[in-house]
A and B are shown apart, each in its own frame.
Chain A
């Protein structure tokens, strides 16, 4: 049964205390008052549960659980679309209570504006104040699916613990795109100043090594968290990053040396990258692999249920590693996480989340899926764009 003392540290963890939506997906208007406990959203398919957690995911850095653009979330009406949309929240963050808001920019509706206490803010500030992790049904096929999905998932785990990771990653990508544009031109026969390429490669190397170092650091912490955890309902994974830079940094080589070598590698690869139309080496090509420890099996070869349990286990371990380092667990969004779990694992998930003291947002088709939480969860019924809190004893 659930250990109620786990709730003692709930107050300090980041979480939403009030959520207001205007013209967002299938919500014309919503105003929901919440407490720090996990939130269980239940209702039939298409009722708007994922839309609601998507709104919450918009309060953290990035483009949310569906990676949607600002135009895509406007509410559809009989006449077309609502002209504007907004997500407003009052939230507890690692630095105290704040108001967070995001919505379409009235001057340019295809752009999204984000505000912290009424003033413009940055993605890095959001990552620092309101760390967040999410799992959606898309991650069910994480281990067997494309490499890029796995790295995107892992980079989100890293970002939740290292707020700068996002800006290093986007800086690396920007420099990479700039370099590729020059290589494409060169391949078509235009003359390109080699110093320009040198400058871009130096920038790629500096940011690429910072990016890889954050991954190596996060992986080490995550693995030692997994190793130190007592056996739970979720299987333990042995993780490995296979990447040019990550391997050398993990072996303890100095970042400066790895950076200089990466510059040379990029220089050597110019002709090949120009012909290929993309750059073939670097931390954007890194692969994450996992083994199910107990079964000594590659995650990709495990059953669907086991694969899902491995991902959930990783998310829980990372949340707990972050709580250890930063003093508070991140907000967790677990869309349809309970759907394929047996009763023992549902109980394990409930206990894990309550022990963490995290505000987790869970969705499911029926309230029964959240029985294991007992009084540890606030239940919200979602019906056709209307969300109602059932227990008001927060």
Chain B
């Protein structure tokens, strides 16, 4: 039997559905908010409401932003010739944090998985093919996870783009920055050998 009323229980139940939060941490988060109603809870509620109202998926690339096209798509300094394909907006953010890529993005919104019921029609693919068809685009980078589903999706997309005049590339796999060879697993080491390049 819970000591909290139905309102608090509902709050905890909703919070516990977030990634990284279990029932226990949701309980702690709810308690913390209730104790700091003015400094945490109300500003959070307002921010949530505002985000829910204003943020939408970019109709060009699938990124999340208040504007459509999003800030990345409308930034004239970025290179229109390269499109980097990622699985989720989280991956796009990770690449933006690294600051290594100055082209355009395309968020698939998932990867192919027959067992999870995700097929080509569930992914943001038609618009990718449309974008890659544009004369400006020279290269499509497939920045997908090195999992079975990620790699299957990468194969699939390269087949779909094969008859267009764009280069299709994938991210290199191998020795991590600051990594010691002695500590790498065999698979990573052989991948590093396969993708070796002139020094």
Contact = CB atoms under 8 A, between A and B. Distances in A.
A195 interface: yes
Contact of B185 (A163, A177, A203, A210): A163
A167 B187 CA distance: 9
Interface stretch (B38-46, B63-71, B154-162, B166-174): B154-162
Interface in A157-175: 162-164, 167-168, 171, 174-175
Contact of B152 (A125, A164, A175): A175
Nearest to A210: B187
Interface string A168-201: 1001001101110110010000000101101110
B148 A178 contact: yes
A195 B185 CA distance: 32
Interface in A190-244: 193, 195-196, 198-200, 202-203, 206-207, 210
A356 to B, nearest CB: 23
A200 B115 contact: no
A126 to B, nearest CB: 11
B163 to A, nearest CB: 12
A195 B160 contact: yes
Contacts of B155: 198-200, 202-203
Contact of A163 (B22, B149, B151, B186): B186
Contacts of A178: 112-115, 148-149, 152
Nearest to A181: B114
Given A181-B115, A182-B114, A203-B155, A162 B186 contact: yes
A233 B156 CA distance: 55
B103 interface: no
A125 B154 CA distance: 26
A128 interface: yes
Contacts of A179: 114
Nearest to B156: A199
A119 interface: no
Given A178-B152, A182-B114, A199 B186 contact: no
A12 interface: no
Interface centre among B148, B156, B186 (most CB of A within 10 A): B148
B22 A107 contact: yes
Nearest to B162: A195
Contacts of B113: 178
Nearest to A122: B185
B167 to A, nearest CB: 19
A124 B186 CA distance: 10
Contacts of A124: 185, 187
A210 B194 CA distance: 14
Contacts of A196: 112, 114, 119-120, 152, 156
Contact of B148 (A128, A163, A175, A210): A175
Contact of B187 (A125, A164, A177, A193): A164
Given A163-B185, A203-B148, 19 more contacts: A125-B185, A164-B185, A164-B186, A175-B152, A177-B115, A178-B115, A181-B115, A182-B114, A195-B156, A195-B159, A196-B112, A196-B119, A198-B159, A199-B112, A199-B159, A200-B152, A202-B152, A202-B155, A206-B151
Interface of B: 22-24, 112-115, 119-120, 147-149, 151-156, 159-160, 185-187
A-B CB proximity, top 9 nearest? A199-B155, A181-B114, A199-B156, A107-B22, A164-B187, A195-B159, A174-B148, A199-B152, A178-B114
8 contacts: A162-B186, A174-B149, A175-B152, A177-B115, A193-B119, A193-B120, A202-B155, A210-B187
